[in-house]
């Protein structure tokens, strides 16, 4: 094969590699905007993972982005499996308020949360808090309905849709591009020896 042909193949290989990288980055960057608009649980009252002595009259959740008025569901369950959410969740912007029936026994309460982000993607997450003394329904003190102090949520369990799912694809695409480049370069080098 002539030197001219070798050079031509080299240039084509290089152009294909560059085009692959550019197109990969371009197409994989597209879903980045909706990903950024996903929502996550940012703060809560009671505090996620916290301990409280007096049962709250309501549960307040603050999200990183506004959430839709439809499709939300909050469930507050005691250690025995009874639930205490009372009526529908009330949503205002990025905040959700769920009225609670008088809580029961002391112990860990599980909060299951489903909301729909402004971009239409559902967020399913959860948190727990511990009631250290029996609630009103178990003979304890009257529910606490003082103004809510929201505490930041540092980690949420069972959270979906918030991971940048394109990241592994990006890595994989680059690996493929690099391997293709290596194969083409190898072929070219071998041809050079003929």
Contacting residues toward Cu ion, per CB under 5 A: 34, 38, 119, 121
Residue 118 Cβ, how far from Cu ion at the closest point, in Å? 8
Dihedral of the CA atoms 115, 116, 121, 126 (nearest 10)? Answer: -10
For Cu ion, give the closer residue by CB, 38 or 62: 38
The least distance separating Cu ion from the CB of residue 188, rounded to whole angstroms, comes to: 44
**Minimal distance, residue 60 CB to Cu ion, in Å:** 23
User: Is the CB of 18 or the CB of 36 nearer to Cu ion?
Assistant: 36
Residue number, 6 or 119, with CB nearest to Cu ion: 119
Beta bridge partners of residue 100, listed in sequence order: 85
Closest residue to bound Cu ion by CB: 121
Q: Which is nearer to Cu ion, 41 or 55 (CB)?
A: 41
Contact at 8 Å (CB) between 119 and 34?
Answer: yes
List residues bridging with 98 in a β-sheet: 59
| Among candidate residues 78, 137, 141, 87, the one with its CA nearest the CA of residue 107 | 78
Please give the DSSP secondary-structure letter assigned to residue 100: B
């Amino acid at each position: 094969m002539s030197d001219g042909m070798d050079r031509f193949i080299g240039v084509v290989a290089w152009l294909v590699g560059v085009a692959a990288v550019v197109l990969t980055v371009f197409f994989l960057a597209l879903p980045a905007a909706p990903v950024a608009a996903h929502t996550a649980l940012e703060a809560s009252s009671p505090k996620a993972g916290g301990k409280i002595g007096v049962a709250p009259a309501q549960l307040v959740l603050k999200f990183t982005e506004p959430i839709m008025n439809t499709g939300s569901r909050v469930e507050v369950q005691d250690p025995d499996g009874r639930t205490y959410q009372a009526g529908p969740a009330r949503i205002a912007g990025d905040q959700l308020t769920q009225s609670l029936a008088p809580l029961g026994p002391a112990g860990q309460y599980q909060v299951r949360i489903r909301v729909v982000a402004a971009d239409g993607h559902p967020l399913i997450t959860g948190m727990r808090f511990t009631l250290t003394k029996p609630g009103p329904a178990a003979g304890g003190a009257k529910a606490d309905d003082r103004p809510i102090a929201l505490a930041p949520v540092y980690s949420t369990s069972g959270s979906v849709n918030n991971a940048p799912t394109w990241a592994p694809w990006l890595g994989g695409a680059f690996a493929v591009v690099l391997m293709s480049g290596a194969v083409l370069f190898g072929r070219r080098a071998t041809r050079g020896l003929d």
